[in-house]
C-alpha cells in the first residue's frame, strides 16, 4: 500500500470536512477498498473512515419504505430488514459472515462494482440514494461500471427502498469471489414490475425493460419464456462468455419470478 | 501516524501507528500476537479472523485505526483462565479438526462467533458459516465434527467420507 493518513470522524459534518481535503477518500467497511489499496489501485492522501458515525447506521421501516443507513453492514441488513425479506436475503448472501460484518450498503453503492448485489436491489426497487447534500433516484444514480452520480466527497447517508408486494434476488455465484457471475433482482409493485441485472453488462447494473413489460402484464415465469438479451455488451472473462451471461439472465429471471411467488 | 487505543484480549493497548497499518500487522508486529495468521491477505482464506466488538471479521481487511476504542479478541484470548483449552479448542483436538494447523486460529474464532449466535447449529449451518474459512488439509469433515461436538451435539450422524 501507498502511505496515507487515517481519520475516523464521529459526525457527518466532520467527515464532510475531512473529505474536502485534496485526495481524501471515504472508507466504508473497506471490503473492496482495502484490497484495492493493497494492489496500489488507489492512492489517497487520507482515508476517512465512516464507521464511527452512528447517524449513518440502522434499519427502519415506515410507510411502506425501508430505510437503511449508508453505514449499515450487510450483516445488520440481513438480521434487521425483515420488512423487506428479499433484501435481507440478498444481504445474507454477500461474501461470507466476516465480510458481512464489515461491508456496508453505502460502500457497495458508492463503489458500484459491476458484479455487486446491492445495485440490483436499489435499481429494481426504485430506491432513493440519500446523500449529505441531496436525494438521487436509482435510475439516475448508476452511470456505468464503478461510476455513479456521486460528486467528490459526497457521502451516502441512507438508502430508501420502497417495499414491494413480492420480490426475489437470484445470484449465480462466482464461487471463488462470491460475487454474482450474474444476479437478477425482480420486484413487483402495484404499478408494475422492475427487473435489475448485475454481473452481466459491461455498463454495470441495468434494467431489463422488455422483461419488465411482460412481467407487469403477467407475473409468471412463463411470461418471460423465449425472451433473451444479446451477448454483445456483456462481460466476457474466464468465468463465462458474454453469451453465457446473456443466457443466465433469462434463466435467473425466471427463477427469481418463481421464487417471488 | 495515528494514535489508536483498544482492548485486546482484555488488556488496554495504546500505540502510534501508520495510517495504513492493517489489524494483522498491528496484532502480529506491534503486539507480537502471532496466533492471528496471514494466509491470503486478500480476505478469502479466513486464517486471520478475530472478533471486534464481538463480531468476527478478517483482520487482513481492516485497519488498526478502525478498531479505535474497540474490544478485540484473538486466538490468544480463547483458552480458559487456567491455560487449558476451551471447549471449541478441545473439540478441535479431540476430533482432529486440523492437520497443519495454519487455518485453525481463524476456524476457532469463526466457530466461536457461530456458536454464540447459534448454539446448536446443524451440519449445513456450520458448513455455510465456514464459507469464508479455507482449510487445504482436512477436507472440513473433522472441523465440522469438532464444531458439532463443541456445541454438545452428536457427531456420529456426520458422514465420514
Helix H, strand E, coil C: the string for A52-98 is: CCHHHCCEEEECCEEEEECCCEHHHHHHHCCCCHHHHHHHHCCCCHH
pLDDT of B147 > 90? The answer is: yes
**Chain B interface, best mutation among A49, A94, A98, by max B CB count within 10 A:** A98
Is A243 at the interface with chain B, CB within 8 A?
no
Nearest CB to A95; choose among B22, B113, B132: B132
Q: How far is A223 from chain B (nearest CA, A)?
A: 34
Is the CB of A46 inside 8 Å of chain B's CB atoms?
Answer: yes
Domain-located, residue B81: no
Tell me: do B69 and B12 sit in the same domain.
Answer: yes
Closest CB to B61: pick one of A31, A46, A176. A31
Q: What ipTM did this prediction achieve? A: 0.94
**B17: pLDDT strictly greater than 70:** yes
Number of CB pairs, chain A paired with chain B, less than 8 A apart = 79
| Inter-chain CB proximity A98 and B42 less than 8 Å | no
Question: Which positions in chain B touch A7 (Cβ < 8 Å)?
Answer: 2
Residue-level pLDDT at B158: 75
Shortest Cα distance from A33 to chain B (angstroms)?
A: 9
CATH 3.40.47.10: does it fit domain A57-162?
Answer: no
- Shortest Cα distance from A222 to chain B (angstroms)? 32
Are B110 and B54 within one domain? no
**Shared fold status for A57-162 and A166-260:** no
Cell of A119: 445495485
- The domain limits of chain A are 5-48, 57-162, 166-260
Please tell me whether residues B72 and B103 are part of one structural domain. no
Query: Are B20 and A4 within 8 A, CB to CB?
Result: yes
Residues B67 and B100 in one domain: no
* A166-260: in CATH 3.30.390.50: yes
Residue B31 Ramachandran class (φ > 0 left, ψ -120 to 50 alpha, else beta)? alpha
Q: The domain that contains B118 carries what CATH number?
A: 1.10.150.120
Question: Is the minimum CB–CB distance between A51 and chain B shorter than 8 Å?
Answer: yes
Nearest CA in chain B to A46: B19
Residue B160's pLDDT band, with cuts at 50, 70 and 90, is: low
Q: Which of B51, B76, B101 is the last residue of a domain?
A: B76
State the CB neighbour count (10 A cutoff) for residue A97.
Answer: 25
Q: Where are the alpha helices (DSSP H) in chain A?
A: 12-19, 33-38, 74-80, 85-92, 97-100, 105-111, 118-124, 138-141, 209-217, 242-260
pLDDT tens string B77-99: 999 999 999 999 999 999 999 99
CA distances from A223 to A96, A215, A227, A243 (A): 34, 6, 9, 22
Q: What is the separation of C-alpha B2 from the centre of its chain, rounded to a whole number of angstroms?
A: 26
CA distance to partner chain A, nearest, from residue B58 (Å) = 6
Q: Has residue B65 got a pLDDT over 90?
A: yes
Together in a domain, B71 and B95? no
Say yes or no for a CB contact (<8 Å) between B62 and A38.
no
pLDDT in tens, chain A (261 residues): 999 999 999 999 999 999 999 999 999 999 999 999 999 999 999 999 999 999 999 999 999 999 999 999 999 999 999 999 999 999 999 999 999 999 999 999 999 999 999 999 999 999 999 999 999 999 999 999 999 999 999 999 999 999 999 999 999 998 878 889 999 999 999 999 999 999 999 999 999 999 999 999 999 999 999 999 999 999 999 999 999 999 999 999 999 999 998
Residue-range definition of the domain harbouring residue B44: 2-76
Confidence of residue B156 (pLDDT cuts 50, 70, 90): confident
Judge: A51–B49 Cβ closer than 8 Å, yes or no.
no
Using a CB-CB distance cutoff of 8 angstroms, which residues of chain A are in contact with residue B63? 6, 27, 30, 34, 47, 49
Instruction: Examine the domain organization and report whether B51 and B95 are in the same domain.
Output: no
**What burial class does residue A188 get, using C-beta atoms within 10 Å of its C-beta: 0-12 exposed, 13-18 middle, 19+ buried?**
buried
Final residue before a domain boundary, out of B24, B46, B76: B76
Same domain, B63 and B100: no
The answer to whether the beta carbons of residues A82 and A58 sit under 8 Å apart is no
- Per DSSP, chain B holds a count of helices (H) and strands (E) of 5, 5
Q: What is the pLDDT of residue B159?
A: 64
Same domain as B98, residue B67: no
- Number of structural domains in chain B: 2
**Average pLDDT of B138-146?**
95
Asked if the Cβ–Cβ distance from B20 to A1 is below 8 Å, we say yes
Instruction: Judge whether A6 is closer than 8 Å to chain B, CB to CB.
Output: yes
Q: Which of B76, B110, B142 is the last residue of a domain?
A: B76
> Which chain A residue has its CA at the smallest distance from B46's CA?
A98
d(CA B4, CA B47): 24
From the CB of residue B91, how many other CB atoms can be counted at a distance below 10 Å? 24
Same domain, B137 and B93: yes
Q: Which of B19, B110, B132 sits opposite A47 (nearest CB)?
A: B19
Within-domain flag for B30: yes
What 3-state class would DSSP assign to A25? Answer: strand
Rounded distance between C-alpha atoms, residue A187 and residue A168, angstroms = 7
In a domain, B26, yes or no: yes
Residue A224 Cα, gap to closest chain B Cα (Å): 32
CATH number of the domain residue B26 falls in:
3.10.20.30
Give the pLDDT of residue A175: 81
Residues B115 and B141 both lie in one domain: yes
* Chain B contacts in chain A segment 96-125 (CB below 8 A): 96-99, 101-102
Mean pLDDT of B91-119: 97
Judging contacts by C-beta atoms under 8 Å, the chain B residues touching residue A179 are: none
By CA distance, what is B23's nearest residue in A? Answer: A34
Across the interface, do A35 and B55 touch by the CB < 8 Å criterion?
no
Amino acid at each position: 500500500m501507498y502511505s496515507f493518513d487515517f481519520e475516523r470522524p464521529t459526525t457527518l459534518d466532520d467527515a464532510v470536512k475531512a473529505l474536502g481535503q485534496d485526495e481524501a477518500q471515504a472508507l466504508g467497511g473497506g471490503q473492496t477498498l482495502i484490497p484495492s489499496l493493497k494492489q496500489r489501485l488507489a492512492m489517497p492522501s487520507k482515508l476517512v473512515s465512516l464507521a464511527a458515525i452512528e447517524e449513518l447506521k440502522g434499519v427502519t421501516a415506515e410507510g411502506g419504505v425501508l430505510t437503511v443507513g449508508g453505514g449499515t453492514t450487510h450483516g445488520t441488513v440481513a438480521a434487521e430488514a425483515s420488512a423487506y425479506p428479499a433484501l435481507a436475503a440478498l444481504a445474507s448472501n454477500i461474501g461470507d459472515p466476516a465480510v458481512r460484518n464489515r461491508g456496508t450498503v453505502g460502500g457497495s453503492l458508492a463503489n458500484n462494482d459491476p458484479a455487486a448485489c446491492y445495485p440490483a436491489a436499489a435499481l429494481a426497487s426504485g430506491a432513493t440514494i440519500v446523500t449529505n447534500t441531496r436525494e438521487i433516484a436509482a435510475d439516475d444514480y448508476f452511470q456505468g461500471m464503478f461510476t455513479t452520480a456521486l460528486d467528490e466527497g459526497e457521502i451516502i447517508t441512507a438508502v430508501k427502498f420502497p417495499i414491494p408486494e413480492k420480490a426475489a434476488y437470484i445470484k449465480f455465484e462466482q464461487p471463488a469471489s462470491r460475487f454474482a457471475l450474474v444476479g437478477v433482482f425482480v420486484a413487483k409493485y402495484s404499478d408494475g414490475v422492475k427487473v435489475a441485472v448485475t454481473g452481466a453488462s459491461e455498463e454495470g447494473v441495468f434494467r431489463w425493460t422488455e422483461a419488465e413489460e411482460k412481467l407487469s402484464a403477467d407475473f409468471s415465469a412463463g411470461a418471460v419464456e423465449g425472451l433473451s438479451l444479446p451477448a454483445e455488451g456483456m462481460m466476457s472473462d474466464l468465468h463465462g462468455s458474454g453469451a453465457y451471461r446473456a443466457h443466465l439472465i433469462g434463466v435467473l429471471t425466471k427463477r427469481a419470478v418463481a421464487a417471488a411467488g | 501516524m495515528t494514535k489508536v487505543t483498544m482492548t485486546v484480549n482484555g488488556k488496554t493497548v495504546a500505540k502510534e501507528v501508520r495510517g495504513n497499518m492493517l489489524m494483522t500487522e498491528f496484532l502480529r508486529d506491534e503486539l507480537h500476537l502471532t496466533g492471528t495468521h496471514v494466509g491470503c491477505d486478500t480476505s478469502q482464506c479466513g486464517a486471520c479472523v478475530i472478533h471486534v466488538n464481538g463480531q468476527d471479521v478478517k483482520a487482513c481487511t481492516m485497519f488498526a485505526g478502525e478498531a479505535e476504542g474497540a474490544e478485540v479478541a484473538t486466538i490468544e484470548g480463547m483458552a480458559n483462565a487456567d491455560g487449558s483449552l476451551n471447549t471449541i479448542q478441545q473439540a478441535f483436538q479431540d476430533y482432529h479438526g486440523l492437520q497443519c494447523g495454519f487455518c485453525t486460529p481463524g476456524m476457532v474464532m469463526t466457530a466461536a462467533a457461530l456458536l454464540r449466535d447459534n448454539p446448536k447449529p446443524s451440519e449445513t449451518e456450520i458448513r455455510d458459516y465456514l464459507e469464508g474459512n479455507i482449510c487445504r488439509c482436512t477436507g472440513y469433515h473433522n472441523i465440522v465434527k469438532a464444531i458439532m461436538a463443541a456445541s454438545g451435539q452428536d457427531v456420529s450422524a456426520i458422514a465420514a467420507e
